[in-house]
């Protein structure tokens, strides 16, 4: 049997991830492979760690890239901090908070699910009430809920968790390099992210960082970590000064992450955050002009993951199919209870640029017209342009 040569189509990735990738990042993946203990690769690991610290805004020595996607980073944080019988509170206002809770439950934790409707965020008062009642060892919360576009404020919550003597674990999969994460300022004890969102690297690595309180809790464990592959006690010997062999790292994926991080830091975090917000505001202005509203409250909408309500009368799958097949634009549908109710528009990393916003608004207008929904011609593009001119 003969197989055809690999020829993936060109897509404009405006979904919930992966995001578009700079050519230099893709080129880095094609560089010659070296061994996972080669001096060149060990030096590269040091540089990846240093750049990740800058992006996480931390000085944590135990900052590294887990071999695996963002879900591997989530499991790494939970499996290293939780032992059977430990109490953990998990904030669930979307799909990914639910996943964190399930991981903890599988480890034998006593999990308290602190729930809000999908798309809403938690108030400090809600968190304080649950934490005071449960007295958990760990509190897990999602800063940027990819399934709903909700942006969770963390300042007050971090203070509440630490006053209770608990550890704070934060899901930064969609937020890292898109909005401030500020690990050290907030005292976040453990956090994880993914390479394919605002870092604009292919999926396959999960940046994580552990603070001193988290490492102290690991050192006090009475049982071995249930996952050998994700055991920080072992991984810190590979990513630390000992360089003891643990597993064969994905060499070329680390090349790609190295270059992606270089691009982030060359742009500068303040400029990158401002770029995401600027194009989000233009997109929002354009959508509002077309009569399309966001699914969440205005003060808790992520700039890089825009969750919008599907207009009444529009066929969810048909619109997304037309966008993909006629315009090469990928957007995401809703998950869980939001399935069939929202579209998720990604403006992450390399994807966050004027040309993508303008093309999407014009293409969406045409798709809606086919559905019998007729916004004012050109209103979306005009409103986006006005928003940029005013910024």
User: Contact, 224 vs 85, CB < 8 A?
Assistant: no
User: Contact, 179 vs 144, CB < 8 A?
Assistant: yes
Query: Per the structure block, which two tokens stand in for 273?
Result: 């955050």
Give the other-Cβ count within 10 Å of 260's Cβ.
29
Please give the angle made by the CA atoms of 333, 202 and 176, to the nearest 5 degrees. 75
pLDDT tens-digit series, residues 338-361: 999 999 999 999 999 999 999 999
pLDDT tens-digit series, residues 36-75: 999 999 999 999 999 999 999 999 999 999 999 999 999 9
pLDDT at 1: 86
Look-up of token digits 């957007």: 331
What domains sit in the chain, N to C, each tagged with a CATH number? 22-266 (3.40.640.10), 268-390 (3.90.1150.10)
DSSP class per residue in 366-379: HHHHHTT--PPTTH
User: Contact, 323 vs 330, CB < 8 A?
Assistant: yes
pLDDT at 242: 83
Could you tell me which residues are beta bridge partners of residue 251?
none
User: Contact, 91 vs 97, CB < 8 A?
Assistant: yes
pLDDT tens-digit series, residues 131-158: 999 999 999 999 999 999 999 999 999 9
Residues 6+ apart with CB under 8 A from 271: none
């Amino acid at each position: 049997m003969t197989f055809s040569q690999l020829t993936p189509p060109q897509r404009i990735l405006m979904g919930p991830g992966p995001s578009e990738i700079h050519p230099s990042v893709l080129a880095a993946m094609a560089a010659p492979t070296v061994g996972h203990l080669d001096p060149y690769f060990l030096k590269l690991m040091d540089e990846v760690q240093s750049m990740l610290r800058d992006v996480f805004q931390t000085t944590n020595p135990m900052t590294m890239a887990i071999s695996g996607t963002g879900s591997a980073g989530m499991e790494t944080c939970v499996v290293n901090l939780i032992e059977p019988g430990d109490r953990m509170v998990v904030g669930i206002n979307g799909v990914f908070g639910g996943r964190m809770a399930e991981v903890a439950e599988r480890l034998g934790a006593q999990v308290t699910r602190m729930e809000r409707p999908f798309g809403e965020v938690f108030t400090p008062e809600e968190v304080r009430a649950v934490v005071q009642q449960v007295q958990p060892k760990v509190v897990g919360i999602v800063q940027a809920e990819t399934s709903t576009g909700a942006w969770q404020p963390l300042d007050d919550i971090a203070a509440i968790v630490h006053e209770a003597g608990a550890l704070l674990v934060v899901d930064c999969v969609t937020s890292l390099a898109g909005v401030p994460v500020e690990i050290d300022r907030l005292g976040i004890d453990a956090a994880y992210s993914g390479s394919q969102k605002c870092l604009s690297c292919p999926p396959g690595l999960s940046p994580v960082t552990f603070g001193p309180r988290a490492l102290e809790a690991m050192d006090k464990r009475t049982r071995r970590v249930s996952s050998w592959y994700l055991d920080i006690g072992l991984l810190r010997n590979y990513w630390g000064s000992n360089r003891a062999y643990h597993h064969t790292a994905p060499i070329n994926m680390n090349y790609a992450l190295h270059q992606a991080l270089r691009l982030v830091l060359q742009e500068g975090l303040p400029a990158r955050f401002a770029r995401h917000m600027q194009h989000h505001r233009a997109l929002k202005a354009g959508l509002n002009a077309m009569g399309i509203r966001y699914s969440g409250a205005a003060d808790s909408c992520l700039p890089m993951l825009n969750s919008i309500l599907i207009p009444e009368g529009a066929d969810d799958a048909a619109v997304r199919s037309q966008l993909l097949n006629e315009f090469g634009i990928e957007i995401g549908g809703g998950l869980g209870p939001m399935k069939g109710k929202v579209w998720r528009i990604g403006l992450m990393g390399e994807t966050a640029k004027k040309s993508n916003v303008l093309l999407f608004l014009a293409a969406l207008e045409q798709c809606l017209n086919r559905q019998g929904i007729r916004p004012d011609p050109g209103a979306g593009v005009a409103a986006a342009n006005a928003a940029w001119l005013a910024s």
